[in-house]
Amino acid sequence: MSQQTARRGGAAWALVITSVAGFMAALDNLVVTTALPSIREDLGGGLHDLEWTVSAYTLTFAVLLMFGAALGDRFGRRRLFIAGLTVFTGASAAAAMAPGIDSLIAARAVQGVGAAVMMPLTLTLLTAAVPVAKRGMAYGIWGAVNGLAVASGPLVGGTLTEHISWHWIFWLNVPLGLALLPLARLRLAESHGTGAPLDIPGTLLASGGLFGIVYGLVRGPADGWTGSLVLTGLFAGSALLAGFILYSTRAKNPMLPMRLFRSRAFAGINAASLLMFLGMFGSIFLLSQYMQGVLGYSPTEAGLRMLPWTGMPMLVAPIAGILADRIGGRPVVATGLFLQALGLGYMAVVATADASYGSQLPALIVSGIGMALYFAPASHLVMSSVRPSEQGIASGANNALREVGGALGIAVMASIFAAQGGYETGQTFVDGMRPALVTGSAVVALAGIAALLIPTRRRTERQAQSAEPAPVLETAAH
């Protein structure tokens, strides 16, 4: 049973604090990509070093998400959220002041540790603060802010680098973090999970498995898929995750109870999330390069032209959250995923080496609406498919799968791109990007099918007001 102290600041403060913290963590996934040339000019280093400024964050973030959620459940979610935010803010300052490429990579890795503790707890703390009847709208705003951060990372990084300095992509986090720390201490209520002891064997197996797989995925495109370290990471990581699953089915207090996946709601939304991020991350990775390298836009110009896609969550996601409260999350999520797939497929059709912006605009708008319809209800589905005492680890597991999906998406898209095209000319880039986008569209469509497998059940008033809702089905209000 969840243990929660008296509320200190209510739902509004919780929404502001968790949304801004989530924005910071999600933004740093891709914010560095457009700043790499400037970083190399200032700090030196080869291509391998530059890739690690991106990969170091992704690696520690993905590997430690479930562990961070488990620590919060055990020692206090607000307490660990503040600890993670402190580490993230301090590491951001260290990255901004890094004197060399090695120290920047180290700071990025520590940033990922802080984000891994902080990020899954944002959703748990928000859920604890918001009444059941208003959670759809709250998740909508939270999802909109996080979706905007993921998609606008290249724009923010490019704009700051182009007009100020690459250092400011890290300095940006410092005032935000310093402002959030006292607010989190004063305005968030403390809560705990089941109180069970930490699952040390499960933690080691899950963290080791995720490390191997994510390492293999992020290094595969650069080092080659037949490289010894890449293959070792993928095979060893898969073996450790298989061991984690086997262990968790038998352990008394596992970090991630495998019985949660017997729920079609929990299993379906997690499968949809992994596939959605696979298709979306890989597509953004290529499209941002296409607009700059092929169509000739500056980083700022490219980011502005992608706003119909990346900015749409701010407009549509809150509405999607309200719709999820009224008709249930499944139809909203599924519709969003199919629209996203349609938009990516359309972009593959119209992309040419000299495509006009007007020809791309419908694809960007449709993709943006689709992404917005996904984010808010997906969070609602994850949190409503488990008991309140298990929401921390459910959030951690879902975020970990999203990160693995994002890393897998970039790896898959980069491999398809390299096999079918290249950077030699605008046409060769388009030749590689088109089949990659078609693949991304197909994967997101599969995510939509996975969402349709989620069961629905109309919620009674008694269930809506219960402190311990049924853990197995997605609920929808009358």
Tell me: the pLDDT tens digits for 316-338? 777 777 777 777 778 888 999 99
The average pLDDT across 164-187 equals 87
* Residue 166 and residue 33 in contact, taking contact as beta carbons nearer than 8 Å: no
Does the CA dihedral 445-135-467-11 come out positive or negative?
positive
Give 392's pLDDT tier (boundaries 50, 70, 90): low
Which residues lie below 8 Å from residue 163, measured CB to CB, with a gap of 6+?
300
Cα within 13 Å of Cα(245), Cβ side: 9
Pick the most confident of 79-93, 180-194, 238-252, 408-422.
79-93
* Residue 374 and residue 448 in contact, taking contact as beta carbons nearer than 8 Å: no
The average pLDDT across 48-77 equals 77
Q: 425-445 pLDDT, tens per residue?
A: 888 888 888 999 999 999 999
Q: 346-387 pLDDT, tens per residue?
A: 999 998 888 888 888 999 889 888 888 887 677 778 777 777
**pLDDT attached to residue 464:** 30
Q: Give the whole-number percent of the chain exceeding pLDDT 70.
A: 84
Q: Which residue has the higher pLDDT, 341 or 144?
A: 341
Pick the most confident of 120-134, 190-204, 429-443, 450-464.
429-443
Which residues lie below 8 Å from residue 378, measured CB to CB, with a gap of 6+?
143, 269, 272, 273, 276, 329, 333
Does the CA dihedral 403-61-88-160 come out positive or negative?
negative
**pLDDT attached to residue 462:** 34
Largest CA distance in the chain: 63
Give 268's pLDDT tier (boundaries 50, 70, 90): confident
Q: How far is CA 327 from CA 66, 87, 263, 323, 440, in A?
A: 31, 40, 20, 6, 28
Residue type, 427: Q
- 3-state class of 328 per DSSP? coil
Token couple for 356: 């006009």
Token couple for 243: 């061991």
Question: Which of 70, 27, 17 lies closest to 181, judged by CA?
Answer: 17
The CA-to-CA distance between both ends of the chain, in Å, stands at 27
Beta-bridge mates of residue 191:
4
Of the candidate ranges 243-247, 305-309, 368-372, the one whose mean pLDDT is the lowest: 305-309
Determine whether 392 is exposed, middle or buried from the number of CB atoms within 10 Å of its CB (0-12, 13-18, 19+).
buried
pLDDT at 47 over 60: no
pLDDT at 176 over 50: yes
pLDDT at 343 over 60: yes
Token couple for 8: 């200190």
Chain-centroid distance of CA 401 in Å reads 9
The Cα–Cα gap between 267 and 269 comes to 6
The Cα–Cα gap between 192 and 212 comes to 30
**pLDDT attached to residue 88:** 93
**pLDDT attached to residue 83:** 92
pTM beyond 0.85: no
pLDDT at 93 over 90: yes
**pLDDT attached to residue 28:** 75
* Residue 409 and residue 214 in contact, taking contact as beta carbons nearer than 8 Å: no
Token couple for 279: 């298709």
Per-chain mean pLDDT for the chain: 78
Give 315's pLDDT tier (boundaries 50, 70, 90): confident
Token couple for 447: 């995510």
Q: Which residue has the higher pLDDT, 16 or 157?
A: 16
